[in-house]
Amino acid sequence: MEEGKVYASDVFAHLEMLEMRDHEAALKEEEELLQEEKLARLKARVKELRLQRDELRAKLDLQEKRQLEKEGPASDPAQFSPRAVLQWKIKSLQAMLQVFYLTGIGAKLTRRGVCFCISTAYEGTYLGSYYLDLLTKSEVKIYRHSVPAFIPLKQIAEQYLQTDIRRFLSVLSDQLNAYAGRRYQADQLQEHFSDQIKGTLQRNSLYNLLVFNYNVSSKSKTFPFNVRLLYGDLCCSLPTEVIVSCRLDAPASLTETAAAHSDLFRRMPLHKAFRSFSSTG
Amino acid sequence: MDSNICEVYEDEIQSLEEEIKLLAGKYEDSQQESTFFSDEEILMSIKSFQRELRGESEGYESLSDLKAQLESLETDLSFLMKFTGIQFTSHSKKTLEKTRNRTVRKHRLSGNCRSLSFQLEFQLLEMQNKAGVSAVITDLSIIMEPGGDSDLSKFVSRKRVFKSTRLKNLAFSCNFQAHNALEENRGMLEHLSNMFLKEAKFSRLFSISTEERGSLLTFFRSLSSYAEWYEHRRCTFLHFKVISSVVFTNNLFSNCVFKHTVLS
């Protein structure tokens, strides 16, 4: 190498490297700055939310204290602005309508008539609801509805709709509730006793004919039982006809069990019947 | 390292936001449930709202929206009460439990259906799941005010009497002895006997199973028709001097005897 001679290309390469290093350092610094800012923002947000949360907790505690202390209204009515009073009334009316829903019926007046909503429930558990949009201008007509096709809506309407709307809705509600109840029992059975059920539950869309096999254990052996449930009364969620049968080679004692089960199925909801003989063995 | 701290903060922010939402909801519920405004106070609020808005055009829109909503809800409610015959005279609720997916509220209701008054208390559990919101009623207790018929309140809240009987096996017979056994009264007697048979049917509907199984729906569905029939029966009784008895028997023993004696 020649002493003292500095090549331009070396200098440039060196400068380039320094520039790059500088650039990278600047980027890194920027990144770190952004990160710091983000952290600071998050920290501030957490502080803000914590404050909000603590204020709410204090408000609730005060409310609770007032409720325990005196018998009068716990909230100071003066705190309510006129708008808030109206909103209170609206919420309170909506709550009342929800109570009506719980009693089985809802209604909304429309320009053309009324839209009824029939709610269904089985022993305290609310199942679906069905709506009927009625026109009441001249004669009563069903404009739209969400009643399933296998419910004889047309027949019920032909019988009662023009003469007695209450009766019409009552009969329809009976059928819908019974259908919902039968379906609920079958669903509960499949949900909670699937280990005892062999194969699939055969049923029709109205859920008034159910056929399935289930296992019954006797002396550490399991025997398949077959059961056929017919719900002859469409307004009822208990079967009118029950046939429980076991195989011909099953021990004689099982015929007694079959009869006992048959009786249970006639008297109580499916899933409860299963629960009862599952626990007694 | 830094990203970890960020994550910790972000998690805390999310949980705080959820908690705030829950607390705000609880506070609002509590405000709603522990206050009451009478109809006059509502009217006064509307008036003072109108006064406040004097001059501000945009406020009027929200006031008229609120008024329209109020009117529509009141119309629907009064229609329902007239249609079903069920008038609710008071309703209060209290939120007992509220989490992200679960709300439990205790409701107190009182009202009447024609001449029958009732008071109810129940708990409503609402749960948010994939399919939507599910509702279950528990701890239902029903008190029927004797609208003249204390037998009914016994039916509704008697808890253990019929537990062992099989309702399907209830047989009942109606015996009538008419003080005045004229020919023309015989038709009326038949009518009366039908009424008693209906009473048995209704009492089955109202039986303890209603309260025990939390079936608010069944109670109300039967209430309307029972109230209608009850009034009809009351009017009919006023016309006759009849000694009658309805005996409920099951396989083992008769445990219910009603004597309806109407003497003027």
Q: Are residues A199 and A270 in the same domain?
A: yes
Q: Are residues A67 and A141 in the same domain?
A: no
* d(C-alpha B92, C-alpha A13), whole Å: 84
Q: Are residues A191 and A157 in the same domain?
A: no
- Domain endpoint, select from A72, A91, A121: A72
Q: CATH code at A146?
A: 3.30.457.50
- Tally the domains of chain A: 3
Q: Are residues A21 and A115 in the same domain?
A: no
Instruction: Tell whether A107 is within 8 A of chain B (Cβ).
Output: yes
Our CA-based measurement puts residue B259 at a distance from the nearest CA of chain A, in whole angstroms, of 30
Q: ipTM of the assembly?
A: 0.80
Residues in A closer than 8 angstroms to B19, CB to CB, are 53
Residue of A nearest to B62 (CA): A83
Q: Are residues A173 and A187 in the same domain?
A: no
Instruction: Tell whether A167 is within 8 A of chain B (Cβ).
Output: no
CB contact under 8 A, A38 and B83: no
* d(C-alpha B208, C-alpha B152), whole Å: 11
CB contact under 8 A, A100 and B80: yes
Instruction: Tell whether A267 is within 8 A of chain B (Cβ).
Output: yes
Report the pLDDT value the prediction gives residue B208, as an integer from 0 to 100.
Answer: 46
CB contact under 8 A, A74 and B30: yes
Of B5, B73, B137, the CB nearest to A39: B5
Residues in A closer than 8 angstroms to B43, CB to CB, are none
CB contact under 8 A, A124 and B136: yes
Q: Are residues A187 and A242 in the same domain?
A: yes
Q: Are residues A80 and A56 in the same domain?
A: no
Copy the structure tokens of residue B146.
């004797």
Residues in A closer than 8 angstroms to B72, CB to CB, are 109
Mutation site, B64, B70, B76, B163, interface A, largest A CB count within 10 A: B76
CB contact under 8 A, B46 and A49: no
Q: Are residues A94 and A173 in the same domain?
A: yes
* d(C-alpha B152, C-alpha A120), whole Å: 25
Residues in A closer than 8 angstroms to B76, CB to CB, are 97, 107-109
Instruction: Tell whether A60 is within 8 A of chain B (Cβ).
Output: yes
Of A93, A121, A174, the CB nearest to B77: A93
Instruction: Tell whether A59 is within 8 A of chain B (Cβ).
Output: yes
Report the pLDDT value the prediction gives residue A44, as an integer from 0 to 100.
Answer: 93
Mutation site, A55, A71, A105, A170, interface B, largest B CB count within 10 A: A105
**Which of A252, A193, A182 has the alpha carbon at shortest distance from A223?**
A252
Report the pLDDT value the prediction gives residue A23, as an integer from 0 to 100.
Answer: 93
Segments forming the whole domain that contains residue A124: 73-181
Of A56, A60, A124, the CB nearest to B137: A124
Q: Are residues A203 and A222 in the same domain?
A: yes
Q: Are residues A106 and A25 in the same domain?
A: no
Contact B86, B200 (CB under 8 A): no
User: Tell me: the pLDDT tens digits for B108-117?
Assistant: 999 988 878 8
Residues in A closer than 8 angstroms to B10, CB to CB, are 42
Low-confidence stretches of chain B (pLDDT < 70) are 1-2, 55-59, 145-214, 236-264
- Domain endpoint, select from A181, A210, A238: A181
* d(C-alpha A36, C-alpha A23), whole Å: 20
Q: Are residues A105 and A173 in the same domain?
A: yes
Report the pLDDT value the prediction gives residue B81, as an integer from 0 to 100.
Answer: 94
Beta bridge partners of B118: B111, B144
Report the pLDDT value the prediction gives residue B1, as an integer from 0 to 100.
Answer: 57
Residue A151's SS3 state is: coil
Contact A182, A189 (CB under 8 A): no
CB contact under 8 A, A120 and B26: no
Residues in A closer than 8 angstroms to B70, CB to CB, are 86, 89-90, 93
Of B20, B67, B216, the CB nearest to A53: B20
CB contact under 8 A, A124 and B80: no
Written in H, E and C, the secondary structure of chain B is: CHHHHHHHHHHHHHHHHHHHHHHHHHHHHHHHHHCCCCHHHHHHHHHHHHHHCCCCHHHHHHHHHHHHHHHHHHHHHHHHHHHHCEEEEEEEEEEEEECCCEEEEEEEEEEEECCEEEEEEEEEEEEEECCEEEEEEEEEEEEEECCCCHHHHHHHHCCCCCCCCCHHHCEEEEEEEECCCCHHHHHHHHHHHHHHHHHHHHHHHHCHHHHHCCCHHHHHHHHHHHHHHHHHHHHHHCCCCEEEEEEEECCCCCCEEEEEEECC
- Domain endpoint, select from A39, A55, A72: A72
Q: Are residues A103 and A173 in the same domain?
A: yes
Low-confidence stretches of chain A (pLDDT < 70) are 1-5, 70-78, 279-281
**Which of A99, A111, A39, A230 has the alpha carbon at shortest distance from B88?**
A99
